[in-house]
Structure 1
């Protein structure tokens, strides 16, 4: 398994760089985001803790996480980033985002531009366990995991069809697009099997 790396952060990688602690934090400063919206909004400034993996070897990633989501658009969760040979980026992120006055499960896929879908957090709280999994038909599915039950949230059909990928990141991110203080996302939630990345 490859080393963990961190971008858009002055913090070091938690643990020894190859194995993460059972529980750790990822802190995002104000005015950080991962978002792309016409006509010219392009933001890729949020801290991301990731491993580089071959895209075609990716099987699944899962994380348990939570935070005190206080300000509009506070967010964090799983992310998969494709760095293409032409310098462009495509990505999928899934997590919790504070909008319309409460935390929501959020899924965003960015091909040319971002789209965005929301669902209520079933517990009504600020924590969840999410999984991204490559299924037999080569679609990427995003699941909410509650105990042994996995509930589908979103299907992304195109990600494993990309042919010009130079590097693929799989990891976690946190963001505070607003200007008020920091947001600190806690990952692991005391569970042992939470930060799983599987590749062939």
Structure 2
């Protein structure tokens, strides 16, 4: 079973939007997601296989970002529309004046890893397509979530190579029954945007696909 679209859709993020949790008090989750709503994909955590999409946007402000969000909720709390108790977001983020491959994993609080998007085009406001894959994995040590940057052949759409960015192991150590919601997201955390500049961050998404076990 899968949720997928080959169409390009757009997410617009206003200034002051973010998904982030940092002690002692920061807990924000107001970034736009799942636009259009048909791209929202939900199911039991135990059934999740993978999520993949390509993103393109004119990064300019610090922390401008777009990517895939995985939100985890206990089965008994799945109808709650508030901030999810645990989540993962991964994609591209503009930090230290360059685009980065970024992953945030939030169990109790968030932790964050970045690595430069080395194949990015020169200039801070250029756009390019970058493909991110989030995939369930299992080896002799157990189960985990792996995050990859994937290079895709622009002519055939086939995968040419993948680079491992992060392994997240706490997901499959959760007690009880959990549901998972997978959506595309965008955010512009900077609240003050320069006069004369586009206020919203406009992100294009293509090749959105989420796979679940039948």
TM range (shorter): 0.7 to 0.9
Helix, strand or coil at the partner of 1:48: coil
Please state how far the C-alpha of 1:167 moved relative to its aligned partner: 3.0
Tell me the residue number matched to 1:100.
Answer: 96
SS at match of 1:129: strand
Query: What is the aligned partner in structure 2 of residue 195 from structure 1?
Result: 208
CA RMSD after TM alignment: 1.8
CA deviation map 1:3-59 (0-9, x unaligned): xxxxxxxxxxxxxxx764511111111111000001100001001112112110000
Instruction: State the distance in 2 between where 1:57 and 1:146 align.
Output: 26
Larger radius of gyration: 2
Give the drift of 1:162. Answer: 1.7
Q: Distance in 2 between matches of 1:34 and 1:52?
A: 19
Asked whether the 8 Å contact 1:34–1:45 carries over to 2, the reply is yes
SS at the partner of 2:143? coil
- The 3-state SS of whatever aligns with 1:159 is helix
Please give the secondary structure, in 2, of the residue aligned with 1:115.
strand
The equivalent of 2:196 in structure 1 is none
- Verify the 8 A CA contact 2:66 2:185 in the aligned structure 1: yes
1:117 — aligned with what? 113
Q: Which has the higher contact order (CA 8 A, sep 6+)?
A: 2
Q: How many residue pairs are counted as aligned between the two chains?
A: 180
Q: Does residue 63 of structure 2 align to residue 61 of structure 1? A: no
Matches within 5 A, 1:4-43: 20=5, 22-43=7-28
Q: Alpha carbons of 1:91 and 1:64: their partners in 2 closer, same or farther (altered >3 Å)?
A: same
**2:146 equivalent in structure 1:** 141
Cα pair 2:4 2:209 within 8 Å, conserved: no
TM value normalised by structure 2: 0.78
What TM-score do you get using the length of structure 1 for normalisation? 0.83
Separation (CA, whole Å) in 1 of partners of 2:14 and 2:5: 22
1:82–1:165 contact (8 Å) kept in structure 2: no
| Residue 71 of structure 2 corresponds to residue 81 of structure 1 | yes
